[in-house]
Amino acid sequence: MKSYIKKLCEKAKKASRALALLDQKAKDRALIAMARALCQNASYIARENKKDIDSARKKGMSKALVDRLLLSHAGINAMADSLLDIARLKDPVGGIIETRSRPNGLLIKKVRVPIGVILIIYESRPNVTSDCIGLCLKSGNACILRGGSVAANSNIAIFNILDKTAAKYGLPKGAVSIIKDTDRRIVNELLTQGALIDLVIPRGGESLIREVSKRSRIPVIKHYKGVCHTYVDETADLSMAQDICFNAKVQRPGVCNAMETMLVNKKIARKFLPSMVKRFIDAGVEIRGTEEVRRMCGDMKIRQAAEADWYAEYLDLILSVKIVKDADEAIRHIMKYGSYHSDAIVTEDTDSAAKFLNEVDSACVYVNASTRFTDGGQFGKGAEIGISTDKIHARGPMGLEELTSYKYIIYGTGQVRR
Amino acid sequence: MKSYIKKLCEKAKKASRALALLDQKAKDRALIAMARALCQNASYIARENKKDIDSARKKGMSKALVDRLLLSHAGINAMADSLLDIARLKDPVGGIIETRSRPNGLLIKKVRVPIGVILIIYESRPNVTSDCIGLCLKSGNACILRGGSVAANSNIAIFNILDKTAAKYGLPKGAVSIIKDTDRRIVNELLTQGALIDLVIPRGGESLIREVSKRSRIPVIKHYKGVCHTYVDETADLSMAQDICFNAKVQRPGVCNAMETMLVNKKIARKFLPSMVKRFIDAGVEIRGTEEVRRMCGDMKIRQAAEADWYAEYLDLILSVKIVKDADEAIRHIMKYGSYHSDAIVTEDTDSAAKFLNEVDSACVYVNASTRFTDGGQFGKGAEIGISTDKIHARGPMGLEELTSYKYIIYGTGQVRR
């Protein structure tokens, strides 16, 4: 097993050197062909996906989690569209970030280069397979994928199609690879390959992230949970606040940028909460509130929120609700219980907005919009490899640029240091 | 000990929140006062430094290493100047990296924010203490310093002066701290504080870096060794090549951007090498060469280079020398034995230059200049916290901007996701 992993990583490293020197045209041609291949093989992918869905349902997985796993034909087309989007994006490699001319005549250019070999460890969403391959390829990185066993059939189907196309279009062997064996020890072995793998991106739940961070000798960019908040300020346009909160919770509850906790300013709570909560309950959302929330909503069915609820990423139609005194208390709550992913304030007051934007130290902080917009595509980056909850290297949606490093190229005419 | 570390880190975290909101004026005022305080207390610092120097000499440390440790009055003034330079630099915090306007009306700003709490673990150079405090403070980060025991007296003297000044100028308590206890277990304990420390920067030798990388649960940016090369191409201006190589090796051999290996193209070796080697030997440089180099240099005293020499960071007046067939062989040598820090080609041929710049995957790649320029000050960044040999987050000289992260601030008018 060790020698298998070592060989796979060495192949990836070698491929990464060749990939780094590939021009945009060659990469885009392959990406477009990959998109076509996905569409042409949609029935095969859907069939393989159905196996995963069936076994997930048999295991009694929640509806929201099954939703993350599902690949309809529309979903497959969306994957292909993502690849086409990536093909249309500017190649980040070779881009000049900055040019400095020094008094001694040295010309210093800061130039984007690929990172090298990227290991991506993810859980249930099979479109991650295709997005990661597309983004890594375009940014000149070799990638090693390790998907969750729940999506194994879907992931391998997608990989097979894309890998075959990559070979047909002359991409270096080993540029993309997938670990099919579900043995956990393989991941542990991969995480020791610091000389060959340059970056690890784990996307998933707490235990996965913790395990990877603990074992890795390779830099890690965590794609951790989203405990996202919306704070409805006393000056909020309440009808706007209703729509934003409803969207943030209900539109797609199984994803990390969905709202998990709603914080409501005391002064408008009585006016805002009962109708808001009713709308949620009518949409099938389970509400967990403080005593104060429960009293205010009279006979509506609201469970008492426990301390653990404030930390919870439900990824489901469940929402915790709390009444706060002011923006300060909302910010304190978010900084204590949140995961620094995406948080929003709904307010008409520019001072409250500025305070919230400044003091909430999350990757994405919103005024008057749904947290659901935290997404590479929505940000205009094309597909994303995920949403970083780290502060090092990349934060928030990670697109092509975030998958690059840089180097300095210095042109001299014989300069020496005095 | 555990509770002491925990408290220190909690204090730093709290201070970092306050520091992040501090305006540039307040920070610059403190920096200027710190510079003044260093100069006013130069004799005290020099006295404490002398204790370290004496004990280093007693331990038989090499001249180059003692050079790294030495703080002359000029060196203390240089430290103060660095702080003044930092005060003059633009505050990176709050800087807008990018603004995007989306079709749905969302306005997305990518804004620089401090990283939070930075732990810096370093070895012998005491000016690191002052530079790190200055750079972290200006970039809004709290810092925890752990210097090498060889420079303990110097580091604590510098820290005491700067910390006192920081307090006088109203900086939050705990914004800067230093670990005085030299017990190794303290470092291990610090490296588990992932919830409170955001980044670890180890600067030093192989064993330090390896130990920190192995134990850390916190993101690490390595400041690893510099096995720097200069390749003298067949088309090189040989007199320029001599000056560049001589400067890269001799001007300050104890630092990471000094050249450790010289690679010479076969076609010009006979013309270039003997006089170059003589110049090195006259300057006290020990040459370790291949059989071919030794033959070519006749009766000059050249030791046979062993395989280990090509990997060695001498940090001293020692140079390994090899003759190569062409730029390709030079590049292969550098990619195999180098540390991806700084490498140079001396050439008059633009194709060779382009090839070298493109294929040598080091943080800084030079054409016709000394590798000694790899330095935050020389790059126009002001003082540097070090030179990253990692590819994640920051590469090469790390100045103020590299000590920041960013967040996205999104302004909406009620947008929800469809």
Q: pLDDT grade, residue A416 (50/70/90)?
A: very high
Handedness of CA A32, A36, A39, A43 (dihedral sign): negative
Structure tokens at B309: 């020499």
Determine contact: A231 vs chain B, CB below 8 A.
no
What is the rounded CA–CA span in Å between residue A256 and residue A371?
10
> So what's the pLDDT on residue B246?
98
Taking CA atoms, what residue in A is nearest to B236? A414
pLDDT digits (tens, 9 = 90+) for A49-89: 999 999 999 999 888 788 889 999 999 999 999 999 999 99
Distance from the Cα of A161 to chain B's closest Cα (Å) equals: 30
Query: 């001799």: which residue's tokens?
Result: B250
Residue ranges per structural domain of chain B: 2-224+390-411, 228-373
Burial class (CB in 10 A: 0-12, 13-18, 19+), B37: buried
Put simply, the chain A residues between 76 and 105 with a CB less than 8 A from any chain B CB are 100, 102
> So what's the pLDDT on residue B409?
98
Contact between chains at A415 and B20 (C-beta distance less than 8 A):
no
H/E stretch holding B392: none
Which chain B residues contact residue A411 at CB under 8 A?
A: 367-369
Closest Cβ–Cβ partner in A17, A379, A392 for B108: A379
What is the rounded CA–CA span in Å between residue B248 and residue B368?
12
Determine contact: A115 vs chain B, CB below 8 A.
yes
Structure tokens at B396: 């090469």
Task: Give backbone dihedrals phi and psi of A407, rounded to 5 degrees, phi first.
Answer: -135, 160
> So what's the pLDDT on residue B182?
80
Closest Cβ–Cβ partner in A214, A367, A407 for B411: A367
Determine contact: B206 vs chain A, CB below 8 A.
no
Structure tokens at A250: 């209900």
pLDDT digits (tens, 9 = 90+) for A205-232: 778 888 898 889 899 998 888 999 999 9
Give the residue ranges of chain B where pLDDT is below 50: none
Structure tokens at A103: 């008094």
What is the rounded CA–CA span in Å between residue A328 and residue B3?
29
- The amino acid present at B288, given as its one-letter code, is R
> So what's the pLDDT on residue B299?
85
> So what's the pLDDT on residue A321?
98
What is the rounded CA–CA span in Å between residue B156 and residue B160?
6
As its CATH architecture, domain B2-224+390-411 has 3-Layer(aba) Sandwich (3.40)
Determine contact: B107 vs chain A, CB below 8 A.
no
The overall average pLDDT reported for chain A is 95
> So what's the pLDDT on residue A386?
87
Asked if domains B2-224+390-411 and B228-373 share a fold, the reply is no
What is the rounded CA–CA span in Å between residue A196 and residue A116?
9
Task: Give backbone dihedrals phi and psi of A250, rounded to 5 degrees, phi first.
Answer: -100, -30
What is the rounded CA–CA span in Å between residue B13 and residue B25?
22
pLDDT digits (tens, 9 = 90+) for A100-133: 999 999 999 999 999 999 999 998 789 889 999 9
Q: Above 80 in pLDDT, residue A1?
A: yes
> So what's the pLDDT on residue B116?
97
The fold adopted by the segment(s) A228-373 is: Aldehyde Dehydrogenase; Chain A, domain 2 (3.40.309)
Q: What is the pTM of this model?
A: 0.92
Distance from the Cα of B358 to chain A's closest Cα (Å) equals: 8
Structure tokens at B312: 């060695």
Taking CA atoms, what residue in A is nearest to B363? A407
